[in-house]
Amino acid sequence: MRYLNPVAVQRVEGLAVATLAVVVTVTVGYAWWSLLALFLVFDLSMLGYLRGPRLGAFCYNLAHSYTVPAVLGAVAVAAAGLGEPIGWLGVLALAWGFHIAVDRGLGYGLKTAEGFEHTHLGLIGKARKA
């Protein structure tokens, strides 16, 4: 039996989730470009690195975990189901999930306290080339 590389699996999963986010965005009637307009907002979490790698990793990982956008998405869907749609919350949740998924698809994982280039998916950037 052939072994599946977990990093490759997570990268493919990321691309699948990104595709799902685009399909849901368009199907629900949100503007497709909202995913692109909000894309870099979530990378503001990297500002934590100005105070050191430990805080930087914490801030980055908080903004790059599916937990918060999943909860926001659940609230948006529940509100819509109760007849009180919160469209902006749905857009935010989808854009956030899309951002995380694209990052994972490109190989950017959750950070460790060792520095920005150390992720749960392996080394990135200059550290990977070394």
> Residue 120 above 90 pLDDT?
no
- Residues 16-46: pLDDT tens digits? 999 999 999 999 999 999 999 999 999 999 9
- Residues 68-118: pLDDT tens digits? 999 999 999 999 999 999 999 999 999 999 999 999 999 888 888 887 787
Task: Determine contact, residues 120/103, Cβ cutoff 8 Å.
Answer: no
Q: How many residues does the chain have?
A: 130
How many domains, the chain? Answer: 1
Task: Determine contact, residues 21/35, Cβ cutoff 8 Å.
Answer: yes
Q: Which domain holds residue 39?
A: 6-129
- Residue 121: inside a domain, yes or no? yes
Q: Give the model's pLDDT for residue 39.
A: 96
Q: Give the model's pLDDT for residue 68.
A: 97
> Residue 122 above 80 pLDDT?
no
- Residue 1: inside a domain, yes or no? no
